[in-house]
Amino acid sequence: MNNQSIFKSWVPNWAIIIILFVCLLHSMILLGVYTSNVTYAASFLDIEPEDLQFAMCVTYGTLLATILIESRFSNYFPAKNYLMAVYSLIGISIISSAYISNFAVFLLLRVLEGILMALPVITIRQLLIERFHSKNAIIIGFSFYYGALLLSTPFIMNIAVWFLDNYDWKYMLYVSGMLPILNVFLIMITFRGHRITKKIPLYQIDWISYFLVLTSILTGAYFFVYAEKKYWFESSQLVLLLIISLITAGLFVFKELSVKRPSFNFEVFRYANLRTGFLLFFLFYISRATLSLCHGTMYSIWNWDPSRVAGVQYINGFGNVIGLVLAAFFLMKSVPTKYIFIMGFSLLAIFHFWFSFLFVPDIALSDLLIPYVLQGIGVGLLFVPLILFTTSSVPVNMAVSSGIIGVAGRFWGSTIGFCVMQNAVAFLQKKHFLKFSQFVTANSTETQETMAKYTQGFVAKGYSPDNANSLALKKILSSISKQSTLLTNMEIYTAVGYGLLILIVFICFNQHLKQSFNLFKSRLWIS
């Protein structure tokens, strides 16, 4: 990429870096504006949390599919016009979502946003990496970009909480839509209008492969997101969608293997490091999914208000920053990736074992401070090394295909992680609730004493004896439900902790986990 004169001569290098970094933040907005506060977003659209999770999968799954054909568009148009048009459409789509209440229309908009999210990223990221006049440009550029993605949820959640306390939900979307418009203005005044890549005509785009893989991704994601709610294979709808997902995936594989110039090169799977990296990414995202149980406990058990939960996430974000800085330092010092992975997954294991003792009826913020920071450090320490390990162990001509594998690992890890946590919570909560309920009987002295105590309390507040008795029973059942939730979370965290220990042993003895990438020979994503 020749970008020596893409920026106007009066723009200093430090300003270019800031502008390009700001332009990358559209991904943070598109991914974080709805996930930052699921309850408010779901209530605004009058949908269930599973529906919102699927909507997020639609965006990220569409991004994954669009990477197949993104380069055809970015190589056809001059960078300035291309980026200005894409960011204008992103701003319009975000603001338009403020006026959409129909879920089907909202999903179509999320497909569009997934496409728009994919189109500018590689171009902007390439430009950003080449602005760092250092042999470690790729490490620095990736740390900036993926750091922004990691911090998107706590950053936007805090903004969302403030907006929801003072304004309507729509104003959150209005402000979110202003950032891409700011990008358009910055590009307009700092970019030159010439092209930076060789023009490639738009004909012969492999639309068939694109629609096959997109269909497979979205139907597969629907199956996993709604599996627990629709009772897995008891639902004919889920069975049909799973069949469609498998058939379209098979047709995509057959087509790519049978053409001379495939959109996705399956030769990447010959490289053991890529296969190992995909597995690690998948397991990494499943282990990250447990963090939602912490936030759910803060709301439902500890009764923390949204502003406090939002503030707590900054603690985790602080750990992310520490981890990203440490990862960049280790990579620059050529520390073998095996040791980085062992450190990162060990911190995640410590977090899970530590936090399993913190699922109690009440807790102080100081009690969770250290494990919450450790989790953030572990995630930040693993993220960029996992990406570089997975994608840079293959030849340059397969860079895009290896990048797709990395994104696929993150997508399916987060989607299946949501499914695993949802099913584990539902099964264990029901099991523990039924077990605890067996001890709440009319013959139990403890139950009678507790009922009498609660009933007297409600009578003292002015309730009639019958209403007070009903409220006392509800309070006991609520207490059982909370105890079931705490025990469930404790068991899940303990199981994940042991799973991470097994993974660490696997990393220690795996012969393919070695420092196998040379960033300056592979020219990852730039070539």
Tell me what the mean pLDDT of segment 207-233 comes to. Answer: 86
pLDDT score of 513 more than 70: no
List Cβ neighbours of 18 (8 Å cut-off, separation of 6 or more).
none
Tokens 């020979």: give the residue: 521
- For residue range 441-472, what is the model confidence (pLDDT) as tens digits? 656 666 666 666 666 666 666 666 666 767 77
Q: Give pLDDT, residue 390.
A: 75
End-to-end CA distance of the chain: 8
Output the pLDDT for position 431: 82
* Run of H or E residues at 28: helix 26-35
Pick the closest to residue 142 from 384, 407, 408, 382 (CA basis): 384
Look over the chain and give the mean of its residue pLDDT values, rounded to a whole number.
Answer: 77
* Per-residue pLDDT tens over the stretch 350-374: 999 998 888 888 787 888 888 888 9
Residue 307 pLDDT greater than 60, yes or no: yes
pTM above 0.85, yes or no: no
pLDDT digits (tens, 9 = 90+) for 246-304: 999 888 888 877 877 777 777 777 777 778 878 888 888 888 888 888 878 887 788 77
In tens, the pLDDT along 160-188 reads 666 666 666 677 777 777 778 888 888 88
**pLDDT greater than 50 at residue 87:** yes
- Per-residue model confidence (pLDDT) at position 520: 38
Please say whether the dihedral angle defined by the alpha carbons of residues 51, 52, 57 and 59, taken in this order, is positive or negative.
positive
Domain 1-204 and domain 266-526, same fold? Reply is yes
In terms of DSSP H, where are the helices of 438-464? 445-460
Confidence (pLDDT) at 347: 92
Cα dihedral across residues 163, 167, 172, 177: positive or negative: negative
Q: Per-domain residue ranges for the chain?
A: 1-204, 207-262, 266-526
Radius of gyration of the chain (CA): 25
| pLDDT reported for residue 166 | 65
Q: Taking residues 482-499, what's their average pLDDT?
A: 87
Give the SS3 label for residue 7: strand
The answer to whether residue 205 scores a pLDDT higher than 80 is: no
In this predicted model, which residue has the larger pLDDT, 435 or 517? 435
Tokens of 135: 């042999």
pLDDT at 516 exceeding the cut of 80: no
Look-up: residue for tokens 């807790």? 363
The mean per-residue pLDDT over the stretch 124-131 comes to: 74
- CATH code assigned to 266-526: 1.20.1250.20
User: Which of 399, 73, 60, 391 lies closest to 207, judged by CA?
Assistant: 73
C-beta contacts of 2-8 below 8 A and 24+ residues apart = 2/196, 2/197, 3/126, 3/127, 3/130, 3/196, 5/192, 5/194, 6/79, 6/80, 6/127, 6/191, 6/192, 6/194, 6/196, 7/190, 7/191, 7/192, 8/189, 8/190, 8/191, 8/192
Task: Tell whether domain 1-204 is in CATH 1.20.1250.20.
Answer: yes
